[in-house]
């Protein structure tokens, strides 16, 4: 196949794509380049066929309360969130919120959450490295433009000699006290639909008892 003396069949193209762990979108591109129809559909999230997926996502978001959780697409645009996100975004102007909010821009834009992030330089680096990794795995012009924009917002950072890695947790000032939050990323490992495969669920977890108390009190309308 490499020398051009043999043409791969459709099944072989799929096997190669799976072995290379290509994203579903790029697997379709590989099939098209080999002269075959795409194998992986890309459904709208409101498609009736995806109703079980939407129900599962709603269940996870609700079950994570009183802690914040969000669902984003491959470019970081907000798909859904639970009510606890309000505490993280307090004071953010309407122009950075609403439908199709980009959570990376929301975090690093000077008018967004950035002014309240205590460890902004480290957290910016965490986000930028995540986007660079995504671009390497799944090239995308719009995501590249977003990365260039966010890189302008990130403060200059000089890493100390004892630097051990990306900043964990996120340290965020709120009107109820400082939150220290760890995050986890969840994906659909067995998805065969591009839309579902590209969704990411980011769940925020308290890194100390004070943060847990603030989030719990906020969810019940009380004030610690």
SS3 131: helix
Q: pLDDT tens digit string along 20-78? A: 988 899 999 999 999 999 999 999 989 999 999 999 999 999 999 999 999 999 899 99
The pTM (predicted TM-score) of the whole model is 0.85
pLDDT at 188: 87
Q: Is the pLDDT of residue 223 over 60?
A: no
Angle, vertex CA 156, rays to CA 68 and CA 154, nearest 5: 35
Q: Where are the beta strands (DSSP E) in the chain?
A: 69-72, 78-81, 170-174, 177-186, 200-206
For residue 123, the surrounding DSSP H or E stretch is helix 120-137
Q: pLDDT tens digit string along 160-186? A: 666 656 556 899 999 999 999 999 999
Place of tokens 């947790």: 169
Q: Which of 22-31, 112-121, 180-189, 215-224 has the lowest mean pLDDT?
A: 215-224
Q: pLDDT tens digit string along 185-203? A: 999 888 899 999 999 999 9
Domains and CATH numbers, the chain: 1-40 (no CATH), 42-219 (3.30.450.180)
CA torsion angle for 126, 131, 132, 135 (degrees, to 10)?
A: 160
Name the pLDDT band for 14 (thresholds 50, 70, 90): very high
């Amino acid at each position: 196949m490499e020398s051009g003396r043999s043409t791969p069949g459709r099944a072989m193209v799929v096997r190669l794509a799976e072995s290379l762990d290509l994203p579903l979108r790029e697997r379709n591109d590989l099939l098209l380049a080999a002269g075959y129809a795409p194998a992986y559909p890309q459904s709208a999230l409101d498609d009736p066929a995806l109703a079980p997926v939407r129900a599962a996502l709603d269940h996870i978001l609700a079950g994570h309360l009183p802690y914040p959780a969000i669902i984003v697409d491959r470019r970081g645009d907000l798909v859904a969130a639970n009510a606890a996100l309000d505490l993280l975004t307090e004071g953010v102007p309407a122009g950075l919120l609403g439908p199709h909010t980009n959570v990376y821009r929301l975090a690093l834009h000077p008018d967004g959450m950035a002014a309240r992030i205590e460890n902004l330089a480290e957290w910016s680096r965490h986000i930028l490295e995540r986007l660079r990794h995504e671009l390497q795995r799944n090239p995308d012009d719009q995501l590249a433009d977003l990365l260039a924009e966010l890189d302008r917002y990130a403060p200059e950072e000089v890493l100390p000699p004892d630097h051990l890695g990306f900043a964990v947790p996120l340290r965020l000032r709120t009107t109820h006290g400082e939150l220290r939050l760890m995050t986890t990323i969840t994906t659909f490992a067995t998805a065969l639909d591009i839309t579902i495969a590209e969704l990411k669920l980011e769940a925020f977890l308290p890194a100390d008892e004070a943060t847990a108390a603030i989030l719990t009190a906020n969810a019940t309308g009380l004030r610690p």
